[in-house]
Amino acid sequence: RMAAGDAKTGMREDDAVSFSGDEDGDASMDAGGIDAEDVAAILDEREAAAPDEPLSLATVARRNLPDDFLELAKPEAIARAVAKLDQVRLDRCRLASFVGGMSVEVRRASFANVTALYLQRNRLTSTRGVDGATLPRLRFLALQGNRLRAVAELGTLPNLALLDLSENPHLGRLDELVASMPSSMRFLRCVGCGCATDGDYRAALVASLPRLKRLDGVDVTGRERDDAMAAFGEDEDE
């Protein structure tokens, strides 16, 4: 899997609830018969009902810097510490946008050194703001489990090599996906995206991404690349 710690239930690690079974090995609790799946469903419903959260420096700091540092540090020191981060976790933050709540200047200063960005399990409908001007060093990006319909900005990320777009069912246009992928891509996952059901899906991506090594967990072979180029490669006479 491309994003470590991405629980299938959508629960955060700190939301984990342990259950002890009875002597018969029943995993449900005696009081009320509530089991882990019931708890997960309740948490999912509560999360779905919660309002969107804007992207902010405070959110980035809270998710990625030590609590003891945040308790004592001044705002200027926090901003400097955020700007030094090379890995940023913003998964499950109820973000509907990567641009709202932060000015362009602050956003670019905050993410200039980031090489790995975790944005899975949010509410993003586009990748606006996730671009080369903001994230010039980005190599790993987790976007699974959002509400994406367009990812055009990803094509401006010059160093992006690992990308997880899985579980975005509204991402349905194969031609738009192909056009949005940077040539630096090496590992790509789109399982559960609408475009992944297109009969030309795999061949079109393999033909358009010369460095692609693995798509949806399956290695790209030399024979597959030759066949894809024969079907979708540019005509040398053009």
pLDDT tens digits, one per residue of 72-108: 999 999 999 999 999 999 999 999 999 988 999 999 9
Q: What is the pLDDT of residues 104-134, one digit of tens each?
A: 999 999 999 999 999 999 999 999 999 999 9
Q: What is the pLDDT of residues 17-62, one digit of tens each?
A: 322 333 344 443 444 566 766 665 555 666 667 789 999 999 999 9
Sheet with strand 218-219: strands edge to edge: 87-89, 116-118, 140-142, 162-164, 187-189, 214-215, 218-219
Return the residue matching tokens 């940023």. Answer: 88
Query: Are 137 and 113 contacting, i.e. CB atoms less than 8 angstroms apart?
Result: yes
Residue 33: predicted pLDDT: 61
How do strand 214-215 and strand 218-219 relate by DSSP bridges? antiparallel
Q: Is the predicted pLDDT of residue 5 greater than 90, yes or no?
A: no
Taking residues 183-193, report their average pLDDT.
Answer: 98
pTM listed for this prediction = 0.80
**Phi, psi for 203 (deg, rounded to 5):** -65, -40
CA-only gyration radius of the chain, Å = 21
Name residues whose C-beta falls within 8 Å of residue 101's C-beta, 6 or more positions apart in sequence: 54, 55, 56, 59
Q: Whole-number mean pLDDT of the chain?
A: 86
What are the chain's domains?
Answer: 32-232 (3.80.10.10)
Query: Are 81 and 112 contacting, i.e. CB atoms less than 8 angstroms apart?
Result: no
Residue 45: predicted pLDDT: 62
Q: Is the predicted pLDDT of residue 136 greater than 90, yes or no?
A: yes
Please provide the size of the chain in residues. Answer: 238
Name residues whose C-beta falls within 8 Å of residue 28's C-beta, 6 or more positions apart in sequence: 19, 21, 34, 35
Q: What is the pLDDT of residues 197-206, one digit of tens each?
A: 999 999 999 9
Residue 237: predicted pLDDT: 44
